[in-house]
């Protein structure tokens, strides 16, 4: 298994949103590259979604944007992975961070939470805090309207 980077035991950042969809639709949006390309900064996710499997986020031209591996997975409720940003040399050098997606029914809505376990004294933390709200908001817009979020 690849190096896991700095071990952080509590999430440094958590973002939660409620989406008017069912749990399976939200899960599919997280693991389906045909969906992520519409909200995850134009990247397509690829994996076989099993423990220790590689995860790759690629741009439309095939350039590797980020990669990592699955730590634990419990479809359609929990995905824990190591995520290694490759789009910036400084982020690449900092190494991977641990991210956890949880998907839960909440009285007819779906609660999607993304927690990041990252050292707060890093560029990774700064990028994560700014990027995850945009990503999850884009996913919410896509699931609720069928169209990508605009304005980015």
What is the pLDDT of the chain when averaged over all its residues?
91
Give CA–CA dist 98/88, Å, rounded.
18
Mean pLDDT across 32-60: 97
| Angle between helix 123-145 and 23-31 (nearest 10) | 130
Mean pLDDT of 103-116: 96
pTM of this prediction? 0.89
Task: Write down the architecture of domain 13-145 according to CATH.
Answer: 2-Layer Sandwich (3.30)
pLDDT at residue 87 in the model: 93
User: In this model, does residue 78 exceed pLDDT 60?
Assistant: yes
Up-side HSE of residue 2: CA atoms within 13 Å toward CB? 20
Assess whether pLDDT exceeds 60 at residue 126. yes
- Domain residue spans in the chain? 13-145
d(CA 113, CA 122): 22
């Amino acid at each position: 298994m690849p190096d896991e980077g700095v071990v952080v035991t509590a999430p440094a950042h958590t973002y939660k949103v409620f989406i008017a969809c069912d749990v399976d639709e939200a899960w599919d949006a997280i693991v389906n590259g045909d969906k992520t390309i519409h909200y995850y900064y134009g990247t397509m996710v690829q994996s076989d979604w099993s423990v220790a499997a590689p995860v790759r986020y690629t741009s439309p031209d095939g350039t590797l944007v980020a990669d990592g591996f699955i730590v634990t997975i419990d479809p359609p409720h929990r995905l824990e992975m190591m995520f290694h940003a490759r789009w910036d040399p400084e982020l690449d050098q900092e190494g991977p961070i641990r991210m956890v997606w949880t998907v839960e029914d909440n009285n007819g809505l779906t609660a999607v939470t993304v927690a990041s376990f990252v050292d707060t004294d890093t560029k990774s933390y700064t990028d994560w805090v700014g990027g995850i709200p945009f990503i999850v908001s884009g996913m919410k817009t896509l699931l609720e309207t069928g169209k990508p979020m605009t304005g980015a």
